[in-house]
Amino acid sequence: MTVIILANCPAGLRGFLTRWLLEISPGVFLGAPNARIRDILWEEVRTYSGKGRALLAYQADNEQGFSFRTHDHAWHPKDHEGLTLIHRPERSPDTPGTPQAGPQPPRQGWSKAAKRRRFGR
């Protein structure tokens, strides 16, 4: 079994993959090609993905029972004592979306409560 997941890829690449795989959800392709075809498909995905990201997961004869490959993802597979794990890079404190440590003061706004708080009424 082979699963290919595309994010932010050209529509032509999705059309190309539907020749061999079934698109079960937008950007999620499922099928059972042999290893040679799977590798050819993955090379095409890497070539034509543009600025998009791609993930390939397939059945393998190892401890986990599957293997996977990534293309242009921030998370990368790492081998750890024979198991493939995902390495998620840590975000720096100035990266948007990162929660800040400690309580934050209330935001100053234009509501009546904010004006009272600001001017001490």
Per-residue confidence (pLDDT) for residue 1, from 0 to 100: 94
pLDDT along the chain (121 residues), means of 10: 94 93 96 96 94 93 90 86 86 59 63 76 62
Q: CA distances (Å), 104 to each of 22, 91, 99, 101, 114, in order?
A: 48, 19, 10, 8, 15
Q: Listing from the earlier edge strand, what are the strands of the sheet with 2-7? A: 22-25, 28-31, 2-7, 53-59, 66-71
The pTM (predicted TM-score) of the whole model is 0.70
Per-residue confidence (pLDDT) for residue 109, from 0 to 100: 67
Domains of the chain and CATH, by start:
2-89 (3.30.70.240)
Beta bridge mates, 83: 80
